[in-house]
């Protein structure tokens, strides 16, 4: 994971990268915030970037609909404690494509 970085700046996300995981609380009342975040990430990141959410209770399809790349939006739900439970649930949106699912599976295996 030496090539993994974190940031609180949306502008910092505009750099070329292949996968973005948006991590924030999964409380249902934050769904509008998460949709707004994915719309912003869609504007700021390269078109080839995959946008992933770690949420387990919000609609990945609704987040994908806020972007111009719904085929490149996916859920990556890590189980806790992450360092002990090597388990990743990959959640597809209605339009998530097979290439995106395969890519996040590889990312998950490398983590």
Residue 51, pLDDT score: 93
Residue 18, pLDDT score: 59
Cα dist from 66 to 34, 36, 69, 92, whole Å: 10, 7, 9, 15
Are the C-beta atoms of 13 and 44 separated by less than 8 Å? yes
For residue 89, indicate whether it is catalytic. Answer: yes
Cα dist from 24 to 53, 57, 58, 94, 100, whole Å: 8, 12, 11, 22, 21
Higher pLDDT, 50 or 29: 50
From 62, 89, 99, 109, the catalytic residue? 89
Between CA 102 and CA 111 the distance in angstroms is 15
Are the C-beta atoms of 50 and 74 separated by less than 8 Å? yes
- In DSSP terms, 74 is beta-bridged to 52, 92
Between CA 40 and CA 73 the distance in angstroms is 13
pTM listed for this prediction: 0.74
Q: pLDDT for 68-81, tens place per residue?
A: 999 999 999 888 88
Q: Name the percent of the chain lying above pLDDT 70.
A: 74
Give me the chain's average pLDDT, please: 82
Q: pLDDT for 39-52, tens place per residue?
A: 999 998 899 999 99
């Amino acid at each position: 994971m030496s090539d993994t970085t974190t940031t609180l700046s949306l502008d910092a996300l505009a750099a070329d990268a292949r996968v973005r995981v948006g991590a924030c609380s999964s409380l249902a009342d934050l769904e509008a915030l998460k949709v707004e975040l994915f719309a912003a990430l869609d504007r700021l990141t390269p078109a080839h970037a995959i946008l992933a959410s770690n949420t387990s209770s919000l609609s990945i399809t609704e987040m994908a609909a806020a972007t111009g790349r719904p085929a490149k939006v996916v859920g990556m739900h890590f189980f806790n404690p992450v360092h002990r439970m090597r388990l990743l649930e990959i959640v597809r949106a209605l339009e998530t494509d097979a290439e995106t699912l395969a890519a996040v599976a590889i990312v998950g295996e490398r983590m």
